[in-house]
Structures are given as structure tokens and as C-alpha cells.
């Protein structure tokens, strides 16, 4: 059951704060401010400043959702720390925002919120259960069933990029060998490209252009990434059996060129087993703020 | 919330039917019959014959749960087919048993039911979320949160043994390379033992005895199995983040000798991430019938 109700979402990013009034997954109005650095009080004030004009325009909005980088303490409404915003250790963001806005505020991890938006209103809106996978610099995922988000016992479910795929594979940033992220994410593809082309400036964009031009070396790097993303999805299929997968993050700008390769690998490694549908994310950069607004409607969404 | 109520469980096996009256995870009375082969009507009758004396002794029992080998069609209450019982294609077992017993009958996959018993009343009873892993001839799992079982979109969640762990690993019975089952399950250990010892009669029991006696070759086979079970658990930890794992199946008879190796691998591959507790299954062979009785209390347990 989707609830049709106007709410306000705040998407807290490392450089900008985006606030929006959202109804049934549609943005009605937005407001954007720069993210104050180093000063939590200035940050709370800026989020309130971004929200207030919208709440004045839409006095029927009662609920506010906040999407934040994590790790978070959802029970206590705190940001444990934010990798790209300084001095936010153990920040009681829900209490502070409720005091400033006089509304009920619901906190959610920004990636989970974006995936929840795709689940409810975007590419996955016809599926009862879905997995939202972002392939960007790193790789992450969100798991959804009905109106629920699987948070996990420590709030760390969905860390698909940290699965070990090759016990003797490349060493990842987390000091583990052969994680999905260390093999297949954007930074991993760049590492392969720079090494094999002897070019320390090559980026993922150039790599994809070379692959589209038919260069064998570039194609092999991209095929390898897509193969392991497909294996990771096939493994998730076996244990979680979702109705569909949504692929988002930076890679989605490569469209079918990447997705078709993921699909081929997924189908190969899932052969003989039930399979899920696979779609590209539909809400683009709006997913974060739509998701933030959406979690406000589902305070008991966590599993 | 656990519901305290007496129910009847029927555990349908390939050779025997076990019925039991169960209250709060404790068996009050049991009845056992051989499983009729080849004739579905005789099978329904035998299950009813196993249940009826117990229902007469316990007239306050209103609900019946049935644990069956699968795949099952839970929505329609049917056994799609049973790998070890002939002629049970698309068998409307719920309808047939309701007609014979005049009780509401709830169907569940036998492995899911056994894990549900461990989750509610056994090794996992203090955890909100758990994963029950059976390592026997093959490897399977069940995923539980609160009073819910994750069934998946096709009812095939928890197929942990089919995850691809080594894309160029040994070929499994499902025609895929390097699945967890093909590397680490009982049959896989036997395959390794028979090959490396040049002895086509060696079984898992002898292998474990040789390992306990300190034979290097046997230890390596068992270490390798435990390592990959630990990696599989670590991967599940990353995406599902359960509070704990329960290890059951034939391997649990090896106790800490195997479990300590699994734990070492799990901790190694999860280092730096939140970790779950690991326990051996506690209910033994009773888990199936206790689980069958338990699902009757949770008709809306499916996720």
C-alpha cells in the first residue's frame, strides 16, 4: 500500500542541501543551499533554512524525511559520522531538526532512501521486492520488500560491494582481497585501465569511450566489471530472491552498453534458477530527495 | 512476539512421517509412520493417520503446520514436486489435509520450517534476525527477521549453496562452476577426499576422523570447506546483516572441530565490519516437526 500524502524531503550532501516537497514520488517544489562545513549548528540551521520556505508554501506538510550519509544510529536519530562532512560525530540530527521545524523528522541513510524512491515510485514500482544497486566510485545496494527496507541488525545490510568474490583478487580499500567493489566499481575499472594502458590519467569516462570505439583492452575491463556485478546479482538472487534489480549510480549514464553486459552475466550465472528483472534507475539525481520525503511516510519501514 | 499455543506439526520426509503436538517449541507427544511411496492419496491418508490420535488426545489443538520437501507453491498450498517422493507433482496437500483433519493447515518448506524452529525456540531464540545454514550433502539456508521468513519472489530465497564463490571452481550438480555447495558441502568434501587419497570408498565420516587424527591432507579438505562456508556467511553478513548464524545439518555432529574453522574464516573475511554471532543448531532432528508446528501460528510469516 502506497500512502498518498505530501511530505518534505531533505537530502543532505557533502556540498549541497536539497529540500523538496514531494507527493506520490513527484517533486512539487525544491530549495537548495550549500552545505556548511565544520559546524554542526550551522548545518542544522542551513537544513532548516532550506526547508522553511517550502513548509510556508505548503502548510499541509506535516512530516519531514532526512536522507543523510552514514553510518547512522536510526534508533537515536543520530549521524554516527559523515565521511564527507567534518565534525558530525554522533550528531543528534533528528532532535535538532524537530526543534527547528516543529515537525516529526524521520532519518534514513541516503543510499537506502534513493533506492526506496526507486522501489516505490521509480524503476521498481511494479515489484513487491527489489534490490537497488549503485555502481559508481564504489558499489552499494539497498534491499526492499513491500514498504520495508532491510536495515539489518547493525544497520549495515546491503553492503554488496564488500562481498568477497575472488579470495585472491585485488586488494580493496577495506583491506580485503577480491571484494565486488575492488573488482568491478568505477575506481577498480580505472585502476585496471591505468595499469594496462600505462596511463595514470585515464578515467572511467575515457575507458568507456574507448570501449564504445571497439578497443579490445577497454572492452575487457568493462566486461570483467559487468561479469562480477552480474555474479554478485546472481548470488543475491539465490539468497534473497527479489522480483527485480534496479541499477543506478554513475554507471547508469552508460545505459544499455553496460547493462546488457551485466544482464548477460547475470543470466549465465543464474541459469536454471528463478531470475529477476533488471532495469536502469529512473529517478536520476532526484531519487535522493524523493526517497528522503518518502521515508517520512514509513516510520516502521525497517526490517 | 512469540505466541504460546499448542499446535500440531507434521514433518513429511522421504521415508517417514513424523507428527507432534508442540507448545512453545516443546514436543508434548509424537507419532511416526512410514511414508507411502508412489500414491499421493495413500500419503495424505498416512499423514492424517499420524495426526489423528494426537488430535484426539489434544482436542484443544486447532492449527496444523506441515513441513514438506519442495519446491512448493505456498499460495496455492501445493507441493510442486518432492525430490524424494514419487508422483507428488502439483499435489494440493493443504486442501487434502484440511479435508481429512478439519483443521486449518499451513504449508512450509521443511528446511525453512526447521530453521524457523531454531530461530524461535532454538539456538537463535535471542536474536531478532538469523540465518540458519545446513551443511549436509548439500548446503541450504533460511533467512528470518522477527516472526518472518524471507521466502523471496519465487519462494527460492536462502539458496546459499548455489552462490558462485569461484567462477572457475569445481563443476556442481546444477551445471555451475564453483558454487558454495560444489566447493564446501559433504559431497564436495568426499569428492576431494576420494581424489586426493585415490580411494573411491572414502566418506565424510572417515575424512573427519583422519583430520581429527591430524592427517594434513584431510585437514586441508576440511579447512577449505570451512573457509568457503565462512566466506559465504561473511557475504551474507554484508548484504543481510543478521544478528546471528545457526549452523545445522549433518556437519553439526562434528561440533566445534568444524565450527571453529568456520568462525575463523568468517571473522577473517568480515574483519572491519559488523559481525554476527555463530552457534550450532540446538534442536537436532526435532527442528523439522517443531518448525512445522510453529508455522501454523504464523500464517502471515512470509516476506
303 residues of chain A, pLDDT tens digit each: 556 699 999 999 989 999 999 999 999 999 999 999 889 999 999 999 999 999 999 999 999 999 999 789 999 999 998 878 888 899 999 999 999 999 999 999 999 999 999 999 999 999 999 999 999 999 999 999 999 999 999 999 999 999 999 999 999 989 999 999 999 999 999 999 999 999 999 999 999 999 999 999 999 999 999 999 999 999 999 999 999 999 999 999 999 999 999 999 999 999 999 999 999 999 999 999 999 999 999 999 999
SS3 at position A118: helix
**Cα–Cα distance measured from residue B39 to residue A142, given in angstroms and rounded to the nearest whole number:** 46
B269: closest CA of chain A, how far (Å): 7
Q: Across residues B203-224, what is the average pLDDT?
A: 97
Q: Judge: B235–A238 Cβ closer than 8 Å, yes or no.
A: no
**Cα–Cα distance measured from residue B241 to residue B245, given in angstroms and rounded to the nearest whole number:** 10
- The residues, ordered by sequence, that sit 6+ positions from A175 with a Cβ below 8 Å of its Cβ are B271, B272
Interface test with A, best of B153, B161, B233, B244 (most A CBs within 10 A): B153
- Residues B108-160 pLDDT 10s: 999 999 999 999 999 999 999 999 999 999 999 999 999 999 999 999 999 99
According to the model, what pLDDT value does residue B208 have?
98
B125-282: CATH class: alpha beta
Question: Whole-model pTM?
Answer: 0.94
Q: Across residues B32-51, what is the average pLDDT?
A: 96
Q: Which residues of A201-214 are buried (b: 16+ CB within 10 A; e: fewer)?
A: ebebeebbebbeee
Residues of B with CB under 8 A from a CB of A: 127-129, 141, 143, 145-146, 148, 150-160, 162-164, 166-167, 174-176, 227, 231, 234-236, 238-243, 269, 271-274, 276, 303
Q: Judge: B152–A240 Cβ closer than 8 Å, yes or no.
A: yes
Cis status of the peptide bond prior to B71, with omega within 30 of 0: yes
Confidence of residue B2 (pLDDT cuts 50, 70, 90): low
Of B129, B157, B238, the CB nearest to A153: B129
Q: How far apart are the first and last CA of chain B?
A: 17
Helices (H), chain A: 40-57, 93-101, 110-121, 180-184, 186-197, 204-212, 216-240, 255-269, 287-295
According to the model, what pLDDT value does residue A4 have?
64
Q: For B67-117, what is the HEC assignment? A: EECCCEECCCCEECCECCECCCCCECHHHHHHHHHCCEEEEEEHHHHHHHH
According to the model, what pLDDT value does residue A247 have?
97
- Residues B228-282 pLDDT 10s: 999 999 999 999 999 999 999 999 999 999 999 999 999 999 999 999 999 999 9
Confidence of residue B84 (pLDDT cuts 50, 70, 90): confident
Q: How far is CA A65 from CA A94, A143, B162, B273, B277, in A?
A: 9, 19, 39, 27, 33
Q: Interhelix angle for B40-57 vs B93-101, to 10°?
A: 40
Neighbours of A271 (CB within 10 A): 12
Of B128, B146, B269, the CB nearest to A164: B269
Structure ipTM over 0.85, yes or no: yes
Cα A119 to chain centroid distance, Å, stands at 12
Interface test with A, best of B80, B148, B240, B270 (most A CBs within 10 A): B240
Identify the bridge partners of residue A68 per DSSP, sorted by sequence position.
A109
- Residues A79-105 pLDDT 10s: 998 878 888 899 999 999 999 999 999
Helices (H), chain B: 40-57, 93-101, 110-121, 180-184, 186-196, 204-212, 216-240, 256-269, 287-295
**Cα–Cα distance measured from residue B13 to residue A257, given in angstroms and rounded to the nearest whole number:** 49
Is the Cα dihedral A266, A267, A273, A277 positive or negative?
positive
Interface test with A, best of B181, B228, B241, B271 (most A CBs within 10 A): B241
The total number of residues written for chain B in this structure:
303
**Cα–Cα distance measured from residue B39 to residue B157, given in angstroms and rounded to the nearest whole number:** 30
Residue B1 pLDDT > 60: no
**Cα–Cα distance measured from residue A117 to residue A122, given in angstroms and rounded to the nearest whole number:** 6
Could you identify the residue written with the cell 543448531?
Answer: B281
Q: Judge: B303–A231 Cβ closer than 8 Å, yes or no.
A: no
Are B251 and B260 a contacting pair, CB within 8 Å? no
According to the model, what pLDDT value does residue A3 have?
62
- Residues from chain A contacting residue B174 (CB–CB below 8 Å): 272-273
According to the model, what pLDDT value does residue B82 have?
85
- Residues B143-154 pLDDT 10s: 999 999 999 999
H or E stretch covering B244? strand B244-248
Average pLDDT along chain A: 95
Burial of B81 (0-12, 13-18, 19+ CB in 10 A): middle
Domain map of chain A by residue range? 6-114+286-295, 127-281
**Cα–Cα distance measured from residue A296 to residue A287, given in angstroms and rounded to the nearest whole number:** 14
According to the model, what pLDDT value does residue A57 have?
97
Cis status of the peptide bond prior to A71, with omega within 30 of 0: yes
Cell of B165: 564463490
B46: closest CA of chain A, how far (Å): 33
Strands B78-79 and B139-145: unpaired
Q: Judge: A175–B239 Cβ closer than 8 Å, yes or no.
A: no
Of B111, B132, B101, B137, the C-alpha closest to B240 is: B132
According to the model, what pLDDT value does residue B83 have?
79
- Return phi, psi of residue A12, to 5°: -90, 115
Q: Judge: B151–A234 Cβ closer than 8 Å, yes or no.
A: no
- Residues B20-38 pLDDT 10s: 999 999 999 999 999 998 8
- Return phi, psi of residue A181, to 5°: -60, -40
According to the model, what pLDDT value does residue B21 have?
98
According to the model, what pLDDT value does residue B3 have?
62
Of A164, A172, A144, the C-alpha closest to A240 is: A144
Q: Judge: A303–B242 Cβ closer than 8 Å, yes or no.
A: no
Of B129, B155, B235, the CB nearest to A164: B235
Is the Cα dihedral B161, B130, A139, A143 positive or negative?
positive
Quick check: do A6-114+286-295 and A127-281 share a fold? yes
CATH number of A6-114+286-295: 3.30.420.40
Cell of A60: 499541509
Interface test with B, best of A241, A276, A302 (most B CBs within 10 A): A241
Q: Across residues B216-229, what is the average pLDDT?
A: 98
Neighbours of A235 (CB within 10 A): 28
**Cα–Cα distance measured from residue A9 to residue A54, given in angstroms and rounded to the nearest whole number:** 10
**Cα–Cα distance measured from residue B113 to residue B111, given in angstroms and rounded to the nearest whole number:** 5
Of B141, B150, B176, the CB nearest to A269: B176
- Residues B52-77 pLDDT 10s: 999 999 999 999 999 999 789 999 99
Second-level CATH architecture of A127-281? 2-Layer Sandwich (3.30)
**Cα–Cα distance measured from residue A236 to residue B157, given in angstroms and rounded to the nearest whole number:** 9
Residues of A with CB under 8 A from a CB of B: 127-129, 141, 143, 145-146, 148, 150-160, 162-164, 166-167, 174-176, 227, 231, 234-236, 238-243, 269, 271-274, 276, 303
Are B267 and B5 a contacting pair, CB within 8 Å? no
**Cα–Cα distance measured from residue B168 to residue A208, given in angstroms and rounded to the nearest whole number:** 27
**Cα–Cα distance measured from residue B81 to residue B299, given in angstroms and rounded to the nearest whole number:** 22
Are B185 and B250 a contacting pair, CB within 8 Å? no
Neighbours of A88 (CB within 10 A): 21
Q: How far is CA B163 from CA A163, B71, B177, in A?
A: 12, 18, 10
Q: Across residues B174-189, what is the average pLDDT?
A: 96
Name the closest residue on chain B to residue A227, using Cα atoms: B167
Q: How far is CA B83 from CA B38, B86, B178, in A?
A: 12, 8, 23
Amino acid at each position: 500500500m502506497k500512502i498518498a500524502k505530501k511530505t518534505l524531503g531533505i537530502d543532505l550532501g557533502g556540498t549541497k542541501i536539497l529540500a523538496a516537497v514531494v507527493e506520490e514520488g513527484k517533486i512539487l517544489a525544491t530549495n537548495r543551499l550549500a552545505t556548511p562545513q565544520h559546524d554542526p549548528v550551522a548545518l542544522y540551521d542551513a537544513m532548516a533554512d532550506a526547508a522553511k520556505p517550502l513548509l510556508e508554501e505548503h502548510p499541509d506538510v506535516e512530516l519531514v524525511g532526512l536522507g543523510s550519509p552514514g553510518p547512522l544510529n536510526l534508533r537515536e536519530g543520530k549521524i554516527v559520522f559523515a565521511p564527507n562532512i567534518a565534525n558530525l560525530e554522533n550528531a543528534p540530527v533528528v532532535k535538532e531538526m524537530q526543534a527547528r521545524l516543529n515537525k516529526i523528522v524521520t532519518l534514513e541513510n541516503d543510499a537506502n532512501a534513493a533506492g526506496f524512491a526507486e522501489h516505490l515510485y521509480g524503476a521498481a514500482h511494479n515489484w513487491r521486492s527489489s534490490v537497488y544497486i549503485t555502481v559508481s566510485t564504489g558499489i552499494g545496494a539497498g534491499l526492499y520488500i513491500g514498504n520495508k527496507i532491510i536495515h539489518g541488525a547493525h544497520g549495515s545490510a546491503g553492503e554488496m560491494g564488500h562481498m568477497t568474490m575472488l579470495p585472491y583478487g585485488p586488494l580493496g580499500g577495506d583491506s580485503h582481497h577480491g571484494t565486488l567493489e575492488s573488482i568491478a566499481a568505477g575506481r577498480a575499472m580505472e585502476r585496471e585501465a591505468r595499469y594496462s594502458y600505462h596511463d595514470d590519467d585515464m578515467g572511467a569516462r575515457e575507458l568507456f569511450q574507448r570501449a564504445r570505439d571497439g578497443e579490445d583492452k577497454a572492452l575487457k575491463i568493462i566486461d570483467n566489471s559487468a561479469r562480477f556485478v552480474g555474479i554478485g546479482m546472481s548470488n543475491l538472487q539465490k539468497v534473497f530472491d527479489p522480483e527485480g534489480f534496479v541499477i543506478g549510480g554513475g554507471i547508469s549514464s552508460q545505459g544499455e552498453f553496460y547493462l546488457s553486459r551485466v544482464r548477460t552475466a547475470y543470466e549465465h550465472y543464474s541459469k536454471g534458477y528463478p531470475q529477476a528483472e533488471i532495469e536502469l534507475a529512473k529517478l536520476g539525481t532526484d531519487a535522493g530527495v524523493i526517497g528522503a520525503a518518502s521515508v517520512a511516510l514509513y516510520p516502521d519501514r525497517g526490517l
